[in-house]
Amino acid sequence: MTKATKFTDLGLSEQSIISISKKGFEEPTEIQALTIPVMLKGEKNIIAQAQTGTGKTAAFGLPLIEMINPNTRTVQALILVPTRELAIQVSEEINSLKGNKELIIVPIYGGQSIDQQLRRLKKGVHIVVGTPGRIIDHINRKTLKLKKIEHLILDEADEMLNMGFVEDMEEIMLHTNHEKKTLLFSATIPKRIKDLAHKYMDGYELLSVEKSQLTTTLTDQIYFEVKASDKFEALCRIVDISDDFYGLVFCRTKSDVDTVSSKLIDRGYDAEAIHGDISQSQRERTLSKFRKQKTNILVATDVAARGIDVSDLTHVINFSLPYDPESYVHRIGRTGRAGKEGTAITFITPSEYKKLLQIQRFAGTDIRKSKVPSVDQIIQVKKKKIVDDIHSILNDKIDKEYFELAENLLLDKDPVEILAAVLNHNFEGELDSNSYGHIQDISGKERQVDEQGKARLFVALGKKDKMDAKKLVNKIVEKVSIRSNEIKDIQIMDSFSFITVPFNKAGKIVDSFKKKGEKPLIAHAKKGKR
């Protein structure tokens, strides 16, 4: 299939085109161009192979919005996702694309009040976005009926497989009607996913997008570990210590974008905000000012930043960690372009250290740790800049009237005192250390716990397999570079076991015991939230 160059080529309604335009999407991604026309025809089940961050939510979200009947207040589509974060993200994005169409889209996930979910389901819902465990809870309570759904979307199916959700997916599919159309999205298509498709999808069309290149080598990647309440202060220090800062600041939510941009403006920075609620005309004005460097800081959500093509950025700041590793890659790829070096800075809280390791492992890159610049360092940088600026203007032509003024001033005043007064007047507040807030140093036990975090692993071997603690430890040590004393809290049950290992060794252990196309012998014990 040839990639369409415009959304208008895909068979979408005028209302959808208007919604897309308001969000600032200019042309479809490859997976959108492939998926939307096939899905709109409604004739085939689909397996779509595409990475996270390629626009796949809109690829299935836009056709769903077109095909669902808003006048029938029943669940017409179920979207299964592996995590609560993705459930929220997918729900928010489809809501932002529906325009004026009166559709009810709700996320259903563990950790959220089940009573609240029951009330929302009782009122009537068109699209449910949920994690497998919590969806099964509602099926068992008979509070979610799927026999009349017309569409089933399995998003990030391979990730659900890795998390041990394949049996849950099968159970959910058994509660759906045979006439529905199924769309399975997966970055990889392992044998277990193919088996699932053959068993539950009566014929399908395979749509595939080539895997894109990962990170740019021209981007210096740094992370700062700070408390959530200190992130804004850290951002200001980075901007102030940088030479001609010109960058994108990424936040997760529209509310965060508004808050951060407003606080930057209040402090006197040339900043603007861009997110899904901003009109197309305002978006164009904002981007025009940013491209012309009339504003040097653009605060944005991931979705709103699509289509922004600026090659001279000095910085990309991850004010908030992205939802997934590939979004990180897409964010930082906006700097270090056209042969110029760039800097990607990520703020993490102590509890986010594990997620940063996952991003680093996925991207196959080194994200080095650094310290937030101190106030003294910033003051020294500002002083140097003032001196450099004055030296540069000394080469400019000076009007003779100013020489006369200078001579008069020097008649009865000390020249140092006069120059200090002029500097103070022109740079008032610039060198005031009190204009910066305190950033708490994360040290000692708090950092140690996070950097040396633990992971609980599930092992599909137990007493019936003649397994004991010593045999299990030896089995792992033989395959992975880990000391036996690093494997702790060993619990040997009849048919399975649990172990605790250092977090940075967990991924290697799980990978070492994987066999292609089979359920892993060892997996992360945390099986998602119900």
DSSP 304-331: TTTT---S--SEEEESS--SSHHHHHHH
Give yes or no for residue 80 having a pLDDT over 50.
yes
Give yes or no for residue 450 having a pLDDT over 50.
no
* Residues in CB range of 442: below 8 A, 6 or more apart: 225, 226, 227, 350
Q: Tell me which DSSP letter residue 517 carries.
A: T
Give yes or no for residue 4 having a pLDDT over 60.
no
Return the pLDDT at 479: 86
3-state helix, strand, coil in the chain (%, to 5): 45, 15, 40
42: amino acid identity, one letter: G
Yes or no: is domain 7-208 CATH 3.40.50.300?
A: yes
Mean pLDDT of all residues in 379-399: 86
Confidence of residue 435 (pLDDT cuts 50, 70, 90): confident
Mean pLDDT of all residues in 389-401: 84
Q: Which residues share a beta bridge with 300? A: 250, 274
3-class secondary-structure state, position 186 = strand
Length of the chain: 530
Of 3.40.50.300, 3.10.450.50, 3.30.870.10, 1.10.3720.10, the CATH number of 219-372 is: 3.40.50.300
Residues of the chain with CATH 3.40.50.300: 7-208, 219-372
d(CA 185, CA 348): 29
Confidence of residue 107 (pLDDT cuts 50, 70, 90): very high
9-23, 38-52, 149-163, 297-311 — which is least confidently predicted? 297-311
* Residues in CB range of 202: below 8 A, 6 or more apart: 45, 178
Confidence of residue 305 (pLDDT cuts 50, 70, 90): low
Furthest C-alpha separation in the chain: 100
Return the pLDDT at 309: 62
d(CA 105, CA 243): 45
Give yes or no for residue 529 having a pLDDT over 50.
no
Mean pLDDT of all residues in 516-530: 57
Give yes or no for residue 92 having a pLDDT over 60.
yes
181: amino acid identity, one letter: K
Confidence of residue 422 (pLDDT cuts 50, 70, 90): confident
Residues of the chain with CATH 3.30.70: 453-524
Mean pLDDT of all residues in 19-37: 86
d(CA 342, CA 312): 9
Environment class of residue 494 by beta-carbon count within 10 Å: exposed (0-12), middle (13-18) or buried (19+)?
exposed
Return the pLDDT at 518: 56
Q: Which residues share a beta bridge with 250? A: 300, 318
pLDDT more than 90, % of the chain: 36
Mean pLDDT computed over every residue of the chain = 85
Give yes or no for residue 315 having a pLDDT over 60.
yes
d(CA 521, CA 502): 18
Give the number of other Cβ atoms within 10 Å of residue 116's Cβ: 10
Helices 56-67 and 30-41, interaxial angle, to 10°?
Answer: 20
Topology of domain 453-524, CATH: Alpha-Beta Plaits (3.30.70)
Compare 27 and 476 and report the one with higher pLDDT.
476
Environment class of residue 374 by beta-carbon count within 10 Å: exposed (0-12), middle (13-18) or buried (19+)?
middle
* Whether pTM exceeds 0.75: no
Q: 341 vs 11, 246, 334, 410, CA distance in Å?
A: 41, 13, 11, 47
CA 97 and chain centroid, separation? 19
Give the residue from 136, 48, 132, 128 showing the smallest Cα distance to 83.
132
Which stretch, 30-39, 86-95, 421-430, has highest mean pLDDT?
A: 30-39
- Is residue 523 a contact partner of residue 457, using CB atoms and an 8 Å limit? yes
With b for 16 or more beta-carbon neighbours within 10 A and e for fewer, the 15-50 pattern comes to ebbebbebbbbeebbbbbbbbbbbbbeeeebbbbbb
pLDDT digits 0-9 by tens, 480-522: 888 888 898 888 888 888 898 887 788 888 888 876 555 567 7
Mean pLDDT of all residues in 66-87: 91
244-248, 259-263, 506-510 — which is least confidently predicted? 506-510
145-154, 247-256, 305-314, 340-349 — which is least confidently predicted? 305-314
5-9, 254-258, 324-328 — which is least confidently predicted? 324-328
Return the pLDDT at 406: 86
Return the pLDDT at 448: 44
24-33, 137-146, 307-316, 458-467 — which is least confidently predicted? 307-316
d(CA 130, CA 141): 15
